[in-house]
């Protein structure tokens, strides 16, 4: 739901306040169905029998009063254990003039006059499936885990001085495997603490046999139970993992007492609260600074990722969900979700893909819950959203490994949420195929080979990797002429024409020679814009949105590069004006960025420019307009121009 529309609804509710209707109208504004509200009014699904009190499992503990002392009331509820019996996300109390609320997950509080409530709709956004990520950005568990992994990395490099130069892939694989094991023993994938106990109980204090024990364990994790007899008894209780994470045998680097001590300390962390999207920050923490800078990596915070995925595709799916009032329409929306693809051709450690996956899983759960409400029956459904609907290209080997691992971990976390809500979920082990993450140079690779646009684009290489069931699904869709919705997104590397590395200049020469771009004096990031535009190929089912420095919408960059992109077939359909970049990295990137979304021309689609938390509809967006400073010109501008003078 768009924030402006939500604010208008809440303002209307508070302006016409009714003590009998307020809370029900408030819940409807946040996406609760009219049928579920009807049941609440009738008392059938209200878990409280007390007058003026409403309890909804996992959602709300609400009480209305005429008393002016709301603070005493909410303090009493907050400190009463019975308040949490049904695990409410929010505790809310109000009288005709004021409302107090507590978010039981983030511990945030809200105290507001009712006529000002519309200004604070973001406080209750978790009801819409849009989680507030403030706590994640400041999660001390994430920071400590990143630092400890960095210490392990540094010590291994110190005692294996030639490893980075001669075989960095070995170190990358090793680190992703131990990351998985730490997470697995704290989240129910493995027996609790079994990995850390194995290190403590079955290796020498000096670490002399640590590499040998881990080598045996890693081999065992790729074996089914009936194949484990040849391995020592201490690995017999570890399950079969699959997913290719432990398939390839590697020569584990030399390890010592300090590495052993650091790994045991890592095992002492509570990995349940680690967010897979923070693994990009881990990657930065354990990477060589010079390499990181050369790759042009920027590690993206969740709120910034949401600025991309919401207007690109998520808002549209949510709006379809809000309008769907029948089982048929809800199941049709599920089919739509199961037949879309998310593609990040500069995926780094996978943050955009992870957040997109998690948001789609949350929406899927909302849809299934609504089907239960509409039909009045429990649905014995499991999630059908597959990791192989997510595609990425990344030039750095370590980042690829982290992206694959993080997607697995995100799937496990969302499966646990699904189980908490519906009582069952897909088994985590053995791991299924992870996201389709390809290690390579995105400016040179054929994007259709990486992410086929439709059934006819399925390559033989992809077919060899698919199960018989997946192949049959593809064949059935091909017979029906099915095409996929594809959403391309990400944060490609930046480099001005004069700041490009020799390799980047060669990439730009390659693109110029292929006549994608006609000038060599443009920013490196335009290669992603150009290749994405060619990938669309006039399809109405494919759109893309990239984060970029605002320089591409300034000065000579506009006439040099944008005409090749915004020809008669394509248009900018949304953009975020300049804002300071913030992220979860240990050292934040201090750059000024914009976000630009492009599609095949669609006269029925609204064009939107976002400024901070506000938005303006425009007839047409041109590049100069995105970085122009005065909002009043938006409504006056209707044609694409290449001069600032043309938009005054």
Domain span at residue 239 reads: 137-274
Phi-psi region of 297 (alpha: psi -120 to 50; beta: other; left: phi over 0): beta
Handedness of CA 475, 478, 479, 482 (dihedral sign): positive
Pairing of strands 485-490, 542-549: parallel
The structural domain count of the chain equals 4
Res 643: pLDDT: 41
Residues 164 and 310 in one domain: no
The answer to whether residue 260 sits within a structural domain is: yes
- The pLDDT assigned to 506 comes to 77
Confidence at residue 615, expressed as pLDDT on a 0 to 100 scale: 77
Query: What tokens were used for 352?
Result: 């955009």
User: 102 and 227, same structural domain?
Assistant: no
**Residues 255 and 376 reside in one and the same domain:** no
Determine the Cα–Cα distance for residues 129 and 321; give it in Å rounded to an integer: 11
Residue 107 covered by a domain: yes
Per DSSP, the three-state class of 599 is strand
Domain boundary among 240, 274, 308: 274
Q: Residues 517, 605: one domain?
A: yes
Same domain, 108 and 164: no
Q: Is 102 exposed, middle or buried (0-12, 13-18, 19+ CB in 10 A)?
A: buried
Considering the domain architecture, whether residues 378 and 447 belong to the same structural domain is answered as yes
- 110, with CB counted inside 10 A (0-12, 13-18, 19+), is middle
Contact 565, 516 (CB under 8 A): no
Q: What digits encode the pLDDT tens for the residues 445-487?
A: 999 999 998 654 454 455 556 666 666 665 555 545 556 899 9
Token couple for 113: 């006059």
Do 384 and 268 share a structural domain? Answer: no
Closest CA to 452 of 429, 479, 474: 474
Give yes or no: residues 360 and 419 share one domain: yes
Distances (CA, A) of 438 to 102, 166, 180, 277: 44, 21, 20, 19
Which tokens belong to 456?
């006819």
What is the per-residue pLDDT for 460? Answer: 44
Asked if 148 and 258 touch (Cβ cutoff 8 Å), the reply is no
In-domain check, residue 82: yes
Confirm whether 290 is domain-assigned. no
Task: Tell me whether residue 345 is in a domain.
Answer: yes
Concatenated DSSP letters of 290-311: HHHHHHT--PPPHHHHHHHHII
d(CA 538, CA 532): 11
Residue 425, classed as helix, strand or coil, is coil
Which of 104, 128, 152 corresponds to the end of one domain? Answer: 128
Residue 267 shares a structural domain with residue 301: no
Which pair of tokens denotes residue 389?
């609907």
Domain presence at residue 281 = no
The gap from C-alpha 394 to its chain's centroid, in whole angstroms, comes to 17
Residues 519 and 452 grouped into a single domain:
no
Q: Which residues fall within 8 angstroms of residue 359, CB to CB, at 6 or more apart?
A: 129, 130, 306, 309, 314
SS3 label, residue 546: strand
Considering the domain architecture, whether residues 220 and 93 belong to the same structural domain is answered as: no
309 and 450 within one domain = yes
Residue in this structure with the two tokens 């403030």, named with its chain if needed: 134
- The one-character DSSP state at 488 is E
Residue 251: CB atoms within 10 A of its CB come to 10
Which pLDDT does position 332 carry in this prediction? Answer: 95
How far is it, in rounded angstroms, from Cα 235 to Cα 232? 6
| Residue 286: inside a domain | no
Whether pTM > 0.95 for this model: the answer is no
* pLDDT < 70 stretches in the chain: 1-3, 130-144, 225-231, 242-243, 277-301, 430, 432-433, 454-483, 495-501, 511-520, 568, 581-590, 612-613, 628-648
384-411 tens-digit pLDDT: 999 999 999 999 887 888 888 888 888 8
* Final residue belonging to a domain, choices 128, 154, 187: 128
Q: Token digits for 509?
A: 């020469």
Burial of 463 (0-12, 13-18, 19+ CB in 10 A): exposed
In a domain, 538, yes or no: no
């Amino acid at each position: 739901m768009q924030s402006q529309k939500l604010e208008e609804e809440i303002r209307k509710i508070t302006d016409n306040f009714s003590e009998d209707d307020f809370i029900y109208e408030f819940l409807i504004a946040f996406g609760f169905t009219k049928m579920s509200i009807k049941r609440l009014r009738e008392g059938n699904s209200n878990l409280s029998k007390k007058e003026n009190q409403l309890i909804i499992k996992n959602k709300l503990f609400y009480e209305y009063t005429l008393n002016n002392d709301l603070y005493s009331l909410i303090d009493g509820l907050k400190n009463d254990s019975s308040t949490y019996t049904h695990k409410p996300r929010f505790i809310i109390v109000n009288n005709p003039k004021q409302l107090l609320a507590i978010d039981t997950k983030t511990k945030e509080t809200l105290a507001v006059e009712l006529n000002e409530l519309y200004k604070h709709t973001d406080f209750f956004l978790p009801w819409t499936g849009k989680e507030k990520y403030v706590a994640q950005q400041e999660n001390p568990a994430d920071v400590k885990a990143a630092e400890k992994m960095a210490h392990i990395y540094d010590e291994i490099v110190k005692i294996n001085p030639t490893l980075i130069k001669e075989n960095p892939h070995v170190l990358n694989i090793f680190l992703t495997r131990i990351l998985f094991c730490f997470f697995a023993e704290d989240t129910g994938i493995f027996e609790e603490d079994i990995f850390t106990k194995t290190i403590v109980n079955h290796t020498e204090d000096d670490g002399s046999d640590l590499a040998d024990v881990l080598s045996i364990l890693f081999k065992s994790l790729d074996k089914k139970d009936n194949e484990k007899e040849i391995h020592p008894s201490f690995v017999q209780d570890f399950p079969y993992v699959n997913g290719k994470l432990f398939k390839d045998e590697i020569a584990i680097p030399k390890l010592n007492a300090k590495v052993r001590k650091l790994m045991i300390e890592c095992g002492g962390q509570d990995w349940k609260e680690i967010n897979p999207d923070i693994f990009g920050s881990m990657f930065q923490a354990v990477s060589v600074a010079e390499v990181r800078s050369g790759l042009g990596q920027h590690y993206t915070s969740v709120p910034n990722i949401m600025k991309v995925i919401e207007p690109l595709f998520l808002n549209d799916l949510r709006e379809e969900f809000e309008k769907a009032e029948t089982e048929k329409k809800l199941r049709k929306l599920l089919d739509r979700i199961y037949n879309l693809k998310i593609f990040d051709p500069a995926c780094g450690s996978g943050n955009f893909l992870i957040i997109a996956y998690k948001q789609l899983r949350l929406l899927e759960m909302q849809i299934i819950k609504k089907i239960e409400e509409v039909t009045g029956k429990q649905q014995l459904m499991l999630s059908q959203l597959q990791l192989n609907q997510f595609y990425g290209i990344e030039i750095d080997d370590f980042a690829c490994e982290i992206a694959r691992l993080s997607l697995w971990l995100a799937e496990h976390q969302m499966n646990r949420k699904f189980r908490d809500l519906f009582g069952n979920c897909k088994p985590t082990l053995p791991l299924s195929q992870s996201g389709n993450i390809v290690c390579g140079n995105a400016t040179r690779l054929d994007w259709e080979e990486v992410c086929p646009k439709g059934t006819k684009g399925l390559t033989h290489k992809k077919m060899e990797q698919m199960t018989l069931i997946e192949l049959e699904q593809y064949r059935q869709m091909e017979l029906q002429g099915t095409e996929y919705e594809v959403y391309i997104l990400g944060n490609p590397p930046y480099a001005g024409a004069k700041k490009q590395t020799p390799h980047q200049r060669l990439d730009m020469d390659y693109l110029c020679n292929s006549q994608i771009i006609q000038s060599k004096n443009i920013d490196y990031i335009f290669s992603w814009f150009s290749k994405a535009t060619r990938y669309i190929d006039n399809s109405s089912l494919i759109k893309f949105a990239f984060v970029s420095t605002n320089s591409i919408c300034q000065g000579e960059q506009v006439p040099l590069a944008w005409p090749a992109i915004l020809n008669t077939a394509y248009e900018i359909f949304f953009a975020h004006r300049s804002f300071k970049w913030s992220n979860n990295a240990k050292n934040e990137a201090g750059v000024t960025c914009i976000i630009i979304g492009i599609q095949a021309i669609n006269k029925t689609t609204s064009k939107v420019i976002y400024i901070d938390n506000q938005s303006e509809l425009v007839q047409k967006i041109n590049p100069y307009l995105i970085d122009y400073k005065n909002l009043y010109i938006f409504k006056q501008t209707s044609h694409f121009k290449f001069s600032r003078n043309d938009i005054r």
